[in-house]
Amino acid sequence: MSDFVTDQELLRARSDAAFRQRLLAVSLEWLLEALKRMRRSESPSPEAARQMREGVALAVQLADRLQTGIPGDGPKTA
């Protein structure tokens, strides 16, 4: 996988649950690294702080999807 998700990877992720999980895991790693770099920056701007809050919220969503699975991946429960 490259640094950016390609259209081909997105298409594959729609039909391959294992690949989708790997793609989510890699995306979470990239996001956490970016947040670390932002956190280390000297005197972040209000815009950077807003971006960090959004990044943290997205990281929580990705982690939740990795732990519980994405809706539609497994058998349906009544």
pLDDT in tens, 41-51: 877 788 888 99
Q: What is the pTM of this model?
A: 0.71
Q: And the tokens for 63?
A: 């982690």
Residues ≥6 apart with Cβ < 8 Å to 32: 59
Distance CA 25, CA 30 (A): 9
| 74 pLDDT tier (thresholds 50, 70, 90) | very low
Tens of pLDDT, residues 19-46: 999 999 999 999 999 999 888 887 778 8
Helix (H) or strand (E) holding 49: helix 46-68
Closest CA to 24 of 64, 51, 56: 64
